Every structure is written in C-alpha cells, then in structure tokens.
Amino acid sequence: MFAKPAKASTRKGQDKFFGAPEKKTLDAAFVALQKKVDATIAAAINKDEMLKSYFKTRFSLSSGDRPHMMKF
C-alpha cells in the first residue's frame, strides 16, 4: 500500500530513439487514501505542541558527532 509504483528503467539515449516515456499518474483511490491518512496524522501532530516543534526541527550532524555512538 505504501510502496511507490514500479518505475520502468530506460537506458541512456533510449528516449531519443523511442520517444519520451509516458508519464504515469497515481490511481485516484490511492491518492484519496493517502490524503485520509495524512489528515489523520497531521491532526494528531498538531494536538501536541512539542511533537509539532520536533517535526519542524532539522536533523544534522556536527563535526564532533559520532553517529555510530549515538543512542536514541
């Protein structure tokens, strides 16, 4: 349900010979389901101020950080 649709692989220069590949659109049922899920999650996040600010922060590592030593 949450996987992206499979993408057809093309070799370099192949679209010049065969033409540009067709752009695929998502199924309307998938889009409606995703909007429903997103609305539910957004409502839960907006209820808690700390959770809302947590998702707004950007994750980054400094020069002295050791990701292999971090515990979450």
In whole angstroms, give the CA distance from residue 72 to residue 46: 23
Q: What is the 8-class DSSP label of residue 6?
A: P
Q: What totals of helices (H) and strands (E) does the chain contain, helices first?
A: 3, 0
Two tokens at 33?
A: 């389901």
Q: Write out the chain's pLDDT in tens, 72 residues.
A: 667 666 666 566 666 666 666 777 888 888 999 999 999 999 999 999 999 999 999 888 888 888 888 887
Give the predicted TM-score (pTM) of the model.
0.50
Distances in whole angstroms, Cα of residue 41 to Cα of each of 8, 16, 35: 31, 43, 10
pLDDT at 25: 82
